[in-house]
Structure 1
Amino acid sequence: WAAVEVQWHDTATAQTRTVHTSDATPVRRLTYQAATEAEAIEHARAELARIQRATAEVRLSIYGDPRIASETPIDLTGFHPSVDGRWVTARVEHLLGSDYTTTLTATPPSGRRG
């Protein structure tokens, strides 16, 4: 999904109105109806962020850590708000050369996927 739309009830005009995160397509339409325009905007932005995170993937190369294996939950902090949080390793490679490094690919936990 490239955009999210949420409906809200305008009490001044007694009409249902719609907010969009952008004009992009495809659009995910939430069945939830917000009470206010501000609430609708907040829900639309939150859902779009959730969708983008669920389709995200991070790749890291760190100092070697033998405790990290495939399907290991890891907590990332200090990166960016869209990255910080719990991830699950999908692929892990340990390399021993002049130093020991761990290279990993991680995805959001399955419970967060769209």
Structure 2
Amino acid sequence: MTMDKSELVQKAKLAEQAERYDDMAAAMKAVTEQGHELSNEERNLLSVAYKNVVGARRSSWRVISSIEQKTERNEKKQQMGKEYREKIEAELQDICNDVLVKSGKNEQ
């Protein structure tokens, strides 16, 4: 089922209230993919969604980084921490690239 712009915006608002920022970002991403210029409210929703999605991953990155430093004597645990940190870094990079590509397309 394809949702129109107003339904997607409503879904994003609902996701925000439920603190489900990945869902909020997905809804607002779908709005941007429709190719229409975003209103101030829609830009704000997009910004809030991605700010929280990125913020959660940054927090995870800091926690894992700290754990990684504390496990310097245990090579296996340190390797596991390193791999997990790299996974989080890749997610962050994908999220940031995604929003930059979307915003770049809308400015053209």
TM (normalized to structure 1)?
Answer: 0.28
Q: Which has the higher strand share?
A: 1
Greater RCO, 1 or 2 (C-alpha within 8 Å, sep 6+): 2
Q: Which has the larger radius of gyration?
A: 1
TM (normalized to structure 2)?
Answer: 0.29
